[in-house]
Structures are given as C-alpha cells and as structure tokens.
Amino acid sequence: MTNEPVLLARINKANSEKLEGYRQDGGYQTFEKVLKEKSPIDVITQVKDSGLRGRGGAGFPTGLKWTFLPKDHPGPIYLCINADESEPCTFNNRILMEKDPHQVLEGIMFACYAIRSQTAYFYIRYEYGHAYRILQKAIDELYSAGLLGKNILGSNFSLDIFLHRGAGAYICGEETGLIESLEGKRAWPRIKPPFPAIEGAFRKPTIVNNVETLACVTHIMRKGNDWFKSIGVPPDPKNPRDAGSYGPKLYCLSGHVNETGCWEIPMGITARQLIEQYGKGVPNNRKVKAIIPGGLSMGFMTESELDTPLDFNGPGKVGCLGLGTAAVTVIDDQTSMIDVLHNICQFYAHESCGQCTPCREGTGWMLKITDRLRRGQGRQEDLDILVEVADRIGIMPGTTICGLSDGAGWPVKNAIRKFRAEFEDAIRTGRRSNLKSLTMAGAH
C-alpha cells in the first residue's frame, strides 16, 4: 500500500498557499495539458474509472454523479463546492483551503472542464474567515495569471469562480440547503427528485462536490488511476454493490487522545491504529469507551469494534450509519454516555431547519428525554421511546426531506443499543449528570 502524502504534501512549506510556489511544484501543468489533449468526456471517464467516491459524507461515486447531468444542455451548468464543513470535529476541508488552496482550485478547474461548466460557486462556511481570505487571494492570482476568466490559455474554455460565504447553519451543508442559501434564501433543503444534477442552483443542472473530493481530482489527473487505485481498499468481491474505498483520505482525530490532528492516510486504517499510532493513545492511561467514526451523525463504535477498518464499508458493518467525514472523536471510559448523547441531541434540536414535523418535533423530544435522563429523572421506558422516535425520523424511514434527521437518530439508536446497561443503571440509581450546568437547551 503506497503512503506518499499528496493532499497534505505541501502544507508545511513556506507560503504554501501562493500560486508561485504551487507552480514551482508542478501545479497547473496537468491542467494545461488536459486542456490541450483531453476532451471533457475523457476527464469524466478517468474520474469515473479511478473509483473516486465523494469525501463529503455519503461516499457517492464522483464520476458517476457527473454523468447524471443532461446531455447537450443548452444553458448554463454550475459546480457548487461544498465547504460548509459544519459536522462537529471535522476540519479536513479547512486545512486544504488554508494551506494549499491551489490544489483545490485546480480540481475545480478539472471538474468544470469535465462537466462543461463556466461558473463555480465556492460555498464556504461563514466561520472560516481565514480560509475565505486565503481563497479569495488565490482566485485573484489565477485571474491575473490568465488561468481564470475568458478563453483560458487561449482555449475555448472559460471559467469564473465566485466565493460565497455561508449562512452559519449546519443545514447549509446539505446540498440543496446549500443551493437555496446560495440563491439568497433560507437554507431549507428541497424535496428530491429532481436532484441537483437535473435542477440545482438557479434551477439549472448543478453538481455539488466536497472540497476534499475536488482536491483528489487534481491528483487523479496528475498521477493517474493506477496510482489512485494502489491506495486504499478494493471492492469486496462478496458484495457486488461495493465500489471500493480507493485513494488517500484525510482523517481528523479529536476528543480523548494525547494528540489531536488531521493526517493523510490510505483508506482502511482501523480506529485502533488511528488512536494508538496517530493519537498516541488516551490520556491518563484511560481506556476508550466509544468513538464516533466521522461526525456526530454516524453513531458510535464500542471499544470491541475498534479494529473495524475506517473505509466506506467498515463502520456500517458494526451498525454505524457510515464513514461520514472520517473525523474520529474519542470518548474515554470516565465519560458518561448520557452526557455525550444529550450533547448530541442538543446539536440536532438546534440545527433542524424545522420544515418536517418528524425531524422538528423528534429532535426536540429526544433532547427533552435525554435532558431528563441526565437530571436523574429518567424512566426505564424512556429508552424505548428514544429508540422509537429515532427509528421513525429520517429519509430512510421515509418521513423527512433530508438526511439531517437520520443523522440525529443514529447516535440515539447506537447509544441505547450498545450502552443500554449504563443507561438503565443511571435510571435505576437516579444518578445525575456531573456536568456543572444543567440548563435545558431551547428546543423549538
């Protein structure tokens, strides 16, 4: 398995964000070549054949998504870059944007050339002020160098990239919420179909891709598919629907570890390896009680599940929703799962956009019940009520518009199923949370 970093290869260089240094390291040479030698369909085919799957959370095959655009569409086609990155403990996009923005911008240029888009909207989380300023400078450098604008390098290809600051809400990261927000409206996700590839931004065909996905496109075009497929995990031969987990991946690590950070690692590292080799273990010789594999919405893995590979399939095999953002949060054995779950429920009750009754009310109920539990006022039947509510909200049971509510339900189901004894014991003994503040967060 190759482990030569590419995504983070340049981040410790002086002025790594500048065009000059990026070009000295070979940047934009492949783009110039592709512009001369390859057709848009060649680029789509290469990205499709590379096996690249989206890094934004769902792992959808990138090249395949690009083929969903209508053929020979006469009007504009848009690319939206999803840099909303609001999933708790996730900061892999931020590092790419702040430290090596040109590899992301080159990926955007390949993508726009492939899908025949002349306009890209870079939707960046409002709180990322530093990344916003770095990106704007990098975009300005590209216009000055003739790499953006009309007839780039004398070709027929023209492209404008517009930065758009987000609206400060988690739901702005859901692709149709993002599009609504980009259009100047409240970020209420749209009912699908139609999917954005058919009717997206300003009702035109639109592709939404994550920042890390597009950075991977740059390296696929530069180094080729054999290189990309030499990294990561091939498809499971026993599962005909598995597209594999190829390529490098940025893994974030936070919570109860001695070293927090973001590392580029071939897909498929286990949670235990990540914690021990990269996180240098748990502080004070404590043990891991649970981890969250990739953002709160993925649920929990227990200590006995830590040898699960963190690829697109692994977390699902132990009952998690998926790999998500690969931002691993470690919870030690001194931490109350009731407190953790209450904290998560607070987040979702706050971030639900409120359009769908099951999500709006369900996240509120789950918050009220977990608040009762941590006050030592829980009842045994509360556990079944929590699971019932969590089971009934979401796209999967078919009761809501977007996946926020699946994400809200999953940690609840996982926590009760995997740590039921701890919950039952706390209820039986009337144990209160040891948190200093016992304030009830405002449900809707």
Ligand X SMILES: Cc1cc2nc3c(=O)[nH]c(=O)nc-3n(C[C@H](O)[C@H](O)[C@H](O)COP(=O)(O)O)c2cc1C
| 356 contributes a contact to ligand SF4 by CB under 6 A | yes
CB of 293 to ligand SF4, least distance (A): 21
Write out the binding residues for ligand SF4, residues 165-184 only, by CB under 6 A: 171
CA dist 317 and 299 (Å) reads: 12
Q: Which is nearer to ligand SF4, 181 or 352 (CB)?
A: 352
**402 binds ligand X, rule: CB under 6 A:** yes
User: For the window 235-254, what string marks contact with ligand X as x by the rule CB under 6 A?
Assistant: --------------------
Distance between alpha carbon 279 and the CA centroid of its chain, in Å? 21
Q: Which is nearer to ligand X, 27 or 403 (CB)?
A: 403
> Considering only 83-91, 191-199, 257-265, 376-384, which stretch makes contact with ligand X by CB under 6 A?
83-91
Residue 387 is a binding residue for ligand X (CB under 6 A): no
Residue 55, contacted partner among ligand SF4, ligand X, none, CB below 5-8 A by kind: ligand X
Residue 353 Cβ vs ligand X, minimum distance, rounded to whole Å:
9
Site string for ligand SF4, 45-84 (x = CB under 6 A): ----------------------------------------
Which token pair is 301?
């893995």
Confirm if 7 and 219 have CB atoms less than 8 A apart.
yes
Choice from 58, 145, 198, 441 touching ligand X (CB under 6 A): 58
- Closest by CA to 125, choosing from 163, 159, 89, 176, is 163
Q: For residue 224, how many other CB atoms are within 10 A of its CB?
A: 13
> Which stretch in 95-103, 114-122, 172-180, 428-436 sits in contact with ligand X by CB under 6 A?
172-180
Choose which of 96, 114, 152, 171 interacts with ligand X (CB under 6 A).
171
425, with CB counted inside 10 A (0-12, 13-18, 19+), is exposed
Binding-site member from 271, 402, 416, 443 for ligand SF4 (CB under 6 A): 402
Residue 346 as a binder of ligand SF4 (CB under 6 A): the answer is: no
Query: Among 106, 175, 180, 264, which residue interacts with ligand X (rule: CB under 6 A)?
Result: 175
> Applying CB under 6 A, does 96 fall inside the site for ligand X?
no
CA of residue 342 relative to chain centroid, distance: 23
Q: What own/partner pairs with CB < 8 Å and gap ≥ 24 does 383-392 have?
A: 383/416, 383/420, 383/423, 383/424, 383/427, 386/412, 386/416, 387/412, 387/413, 387/416, 387/417, 389/362, 389/365, 390/362, 390/366, 392/358, 392/362
Q: How far is the CB of 315 from ligand X (least distance, A)?
A: 16
Residue 337 or residue 402: which is nearer to ligand SF4 going by CB?
402
With CB under 5 to 8 Å by kind, the binding choice for 173 among ligand X, ligand SF4, none is ligand X
Contact between 181 and ligand X per CB under 6 A: no
Tell me the residue length of the chain. 444
The answer to whether the CB of 435 falls within 8 A of the CB of 339 is yes
Find out whether 315 and 298 touch, Cβ atoms under 8 Å. Answer: yes
**Would you say 310 and 268 are in contact if contact means Cβ atoms under 8 Å apart?**
yes
Selected from 50, 86, 181, 400, the binder of ligand X by CB under 6 A is 86
Nearer to ligand SF4, 82 or 218 (CB): 82
Bridge partner list, 248: 266
Residue 56 interacts, among ligand X, ligand SF4, none and using kind-specific CB cut-offs from 5 to 8 Å, with: ligand X
**Smallest distance from ligand X to CB 351, Å:** 8
Among 16, 62, 86, 405, binds ligand SF4 (CB under 6 A): 405
Judged by CB under 6 A, the residue of 101, 173, 189, 200 near ligand SF4 is 189
Asked if 114 contacts 40 with a C-beta cutoff of 8 angstroms, the reply is yes
Helix, strand, or coil here: 431? coil
Instruction: Give the residue carrying structure tokens 């701890």.
Output: 422
**Rounded Cα gap, residues 395 and 320, in angstroms:** 16
Please work out the total of residues on this chain that contact ligand SF4, with binding judged by CB under 6 A.
14
Cα radius of gyration rounded to whole Å, the chain: 22
For 412, the token pair is 């609840």
SS3 letters for 167-231?
CCCHHHHCHHHHHHHHCCCCCCCCCCCCCCCCCCHHHCCEEEEEHHHHHHHHHHHHHCHHHHHCC
CB under 6 A: which stretch of 260-268, 295-303, 348-356, 418-426 binds ligand SF4? Answer: 348-356
Distance, C-alpha 394 to centroid of its chain: 18
Give residue number: closest CB to ligand SF4: 359
Per the structure block, which two tokens stand in for 200?
């997206």
Chain residues that interact with ligand SF4, rule: CB under 6 A: 171, 189, 352-356, 359-360, 400-402, 404-405
Chain residues that interact with ligand X, rule: CB under 6 A: 54-58, 60, 62, 82, 84-87, 170-171, 173-175, 208-210, 213, 402-404
